[in-house]
Amino acid sequence: MTNEERKRKKAVKKIEIAVRKAVNKGVSKEVVEDTVGQAIGKATEKVAAKKEAVKKTPAKETPAKKAVAKPI
């Protein structure tokens, strides 16, 4: 199992627990669904923005020659 899969399972578990608690407190299922949908939408936008930022950043160029200390 990769780190991404672990993170995703952990996130899903947190969401499920939060939804269960909200429903037990009397929050309507429609409100919960709307909130979860909005959170997923925001997370998707963040991921897309990060991917775009990674694509835009140019790779660092290596120097032509490194300075080497000459023995005396």
pLDDT in tens, 8-64: 889 889 888 888 898 899 988 888 888 888 888 888 888 888 888 777 766 666 666
- 51 lies in a domain? yes
Question: Which residues, at least 6 apart from 32, have a Cβ–Cβ distance to it below 8 Å?
Answer: 19, 22, 23
Cα angle, residue 22 at apex, residues 7 and 45 outer, rounded to 5°? 45
Residue 65 covered by a domain:
no
pLDDT attached to residue 53: 79
The token pair at 59 is 């790779």
Does residue 67 lie within any of the structural domains?
no
Closest by CA position to 36, among listed 21, 50, 16: 16
Rounded-to-integer distance, Cα 35 and Cα 41, Å: 10
Q: What is the pLDDT of residue 8?
A: 84
Residues 3, 60: Cα–Cα separation, whole Å: 27
Determine, yes or no, domain membership for 22.
yes
Give the pLDDT confidence score for residue 49 in this predicted structure.
84
> What range does the domain containing 37 cover?
3-56
Question: Within a domain: residue 37?
Answer: yes
Q: How many domains does the chain have?
A: 1
Q: How high is the pLDDT of residue 61?
A: 65
Instruction: Kindly state whether residue 63 falls inside one of the protein's structural domains.
Output: no
